[in-house]
Amino acid sequence: MKDRDLRARMNAATKAAFDRDARIHEKPVSKLELKAREKRRATPASQNNLTPDGFDVQAVNEAVESENERRIHIIQKRLNRQKDKARNDFTRSR
Tens of pLDDT, residue by residue over 83-92, are: 777 777 777 7
Give the angle subtended at the CA of 92 by the CAs of 90 and 94, to the nearest 5°.
75
How far apart are alpha carbons 44 and 23 in whole angstroms? 31
Q: What is the pLDDT of residue 52?
A: 60
Report the share of the chain in percent with pLDDT over 90.
20
What Cα–Cα distance (Å) separates residue 68 from each residue in 17, 84, 89, 90? 21, 26, 32, 35
Q: pTM of the prediction?
A: 0.44
Q: What is the mean pLDDT of residues 61-73?
A: 93
Distance of CA 72 to the CA centre of its chain: 6
Neighbours of 34 (CB within 10 A): 17
How far apart are alpha carbons 49 and 6 in whole angstroms? 51
* Residue 50 scores a pLDDT above 70: no
